[in-house]
């Protein structure tokens, strides 16, 4: 690592480091010699020398009518580092007392189109592989109409995974019933489907809960996938799912 960069890590500014390195190389020198060796203008060197003297990294000696400057041993850098650490540790309790955590914000991602659907299914596949449970609120008819590819991707997951943990709570119209029949051969022993009454129609969306994520598929001429990652929000939707699950009819 370049010595100037290394000295900056000890808290020196770049030009201070240049002057200190020049002093180390010279052993002792005048202001003009330090400026020439460091490649800096004399007024700039003068300011850097003053700062290095305050830090105890340069000392001044008068020889006749002239002032010369000598560097402190590099061990002085360690002393300065220890001093900074000591003062930081001493001040830390007061800083911690002032520290306020930023407000908790849900992480929200939005994907668009079939690419977004496929990206989500890759996440779902990984979660099911880790034996996480997936919970669905689904309008199968809307999925067939707007993104039939999503149903194909889902079936592919079911074929590849062994006994994934899944519960589906689907709108109980003819499309929902047909879907239950389609999945009979693909469902493992931990995959359950229930149908909800049709008196309260679903909108054109699909909903999924897994891990700490709530996923909402907005279905229409354009398809959007919204992923909300937040433990408290997901806990609420899990509770709503469980309440609705009790009302569903096994299929």
pLDDT score of 9: 81
If one looks up domain 107-250 in CATH, what number appears?
Answer: 3.30.870.10
Among 29, 78, 77, 33, which Cα is nearest to 52's? 77
Q: Long-range pairs for 65-72 at CB < 8 Å and ≥24 separation?
A: 66/30, 67/30, 67/31, 68/28, 68/29, 68/30, 69/23, 69/28, 69/29, 69/30, 69/31, 69/34, 70/23, 70/27, 70/28, 71/20, 71/23, 71/24, 71/27
**Contact criterion met (CB below 8 Å) for 7 and 80:** no
pLDDT digits (tens, 9 = 90+) for 29-49: 899 998 999 899 999 999 999
pLDDT score of 86: 84
If one looks up domain 3-98 in CATH, what number appears?
Answer: 1.10.10.10
Q: Give me the torsion for CA of 38, 40, 46, 52, rounded to 10°.
A: -40
Domain ranges of the chain: 3-98, 107-250
Residue 134, CB-side half-sphere exposure with 13 Å CA sphere: 25
pLDDT score of 170: 92
pLDDT digits (tens, 9 = 90+) for 217-249: 888 888 888 999 999 999 999 999 999 999 999
pLDDT digits (tens, 9 = 90+) for 58-117: 999 887 788 899 999 989 888 888 888 888 888 887 877 776 656 678 889 888 888 888
Provide the whole-model pTM.
Answer: 0.58
Strands (DSSP E) along 64-127, which ranges? 66-71, 107-112
């Amino acid at each position: 690592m370049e010595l100037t960069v290394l000295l900056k890590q000890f808290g020196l500014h770049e030009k201070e480091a240049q002057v200190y390195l020049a002093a180390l190389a010279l052993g002792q020198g005048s202001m003009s010699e330090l400026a020439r060796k460091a490649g800096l203008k004399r007024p700039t060197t003068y300011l850097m020398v003053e700062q290095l003297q305050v830090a105890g990294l340069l000392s001044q000696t008068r020889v006749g009518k002239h002032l010369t400057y000598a560097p402190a041993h590099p061990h002085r850098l360690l002393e300065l580092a220890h001093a900074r650490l000591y003062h930081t540790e001493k001040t830390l309790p007061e800083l911690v007392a002032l520290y306020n955590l930023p407000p908790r914000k849900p992480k929200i991602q939005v994907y668009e189109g079939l690419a977004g659907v496929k990206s989500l299914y890759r996440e779902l596949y990984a979660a099911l592989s880790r034996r996480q449970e997936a919970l669905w609120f689904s309008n199968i008819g809307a999925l067939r109409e707007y993104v039939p590819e999503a149903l194909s991707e889902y079936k592919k997951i079911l074929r590849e995974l062994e006994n994934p943990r899944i519960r589906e709570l689907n709108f109980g119209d003819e499309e929902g019933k047909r879907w239950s029949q389609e999945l009979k051969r693909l469902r493992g022993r931990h995959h359950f489907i229930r149908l909800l009454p049709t008196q309260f129609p679903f909108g054109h969306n699909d909903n999924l809960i897994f891990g700490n994520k709530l996923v909402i598929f907005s279905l229409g001429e354009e398809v959007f996938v919204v992923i909300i990652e937040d433990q408290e929000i997901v806990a609420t939707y899990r509770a709503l799912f469980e309440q609705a699950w009790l009302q569903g009819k096994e299929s």
